[in-house]
């Protein structure tokens, strides 16, 4: 009867090929999620930079307009 069981009972080591495939798929999926998050953060950073530039242009335009009005009043 011992010969029917084989070595060490019913325990089989996990299949290495399947385990590596699962690890690779999981890693690639997580890398995709990280890349998406990085793209989102980059887009938000660009939007904030554009907003800051626009605010600066608006402030400069108002300052120039104020100078023109002041010259006209004098």
Question: Which of the two residues, 12 and 40, has the higher pLDDT score?
Answer: 40
Tokens standing for 4?
């029917």
* Residue carrying the six token digits 């997580």: 30
d(CA 36, CA 27): 14
pLDDT tens for each residue of 30-73 = 898 899 999 999 999 999 999 999 999 999 999 999 999 999 99
The pLDDT value recorded for residue 13 is 67
Q: Is 13 left (phi over 0), alpha (psi -120 to 50) or beta?
A: beta
Give, for 30, the enclosing helix (H) or strand (E). Answer: helix 16-73
Q: Kindly report whether the global pTM for this prediction surpasses the value 0.95.
A: no
Tokens encoding 46: 């660009």
């Amino acid at each position: 009867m011992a010969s029917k069981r084989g070595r060490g009972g019913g325990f089989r080591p996990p299949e290495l090929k399947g385990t590596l495939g699962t690890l690779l798929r999981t890693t690639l999926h997580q890398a995709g999620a990280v890349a998406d998050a990085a793209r989102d953060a980059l887009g938000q950073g660009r939007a904030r930079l554009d907003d800051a530039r626009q605010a600066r242009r608006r402030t400069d335009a108002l300052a120039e307009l104020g100078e023109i009005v002041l010259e006209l009043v004098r």
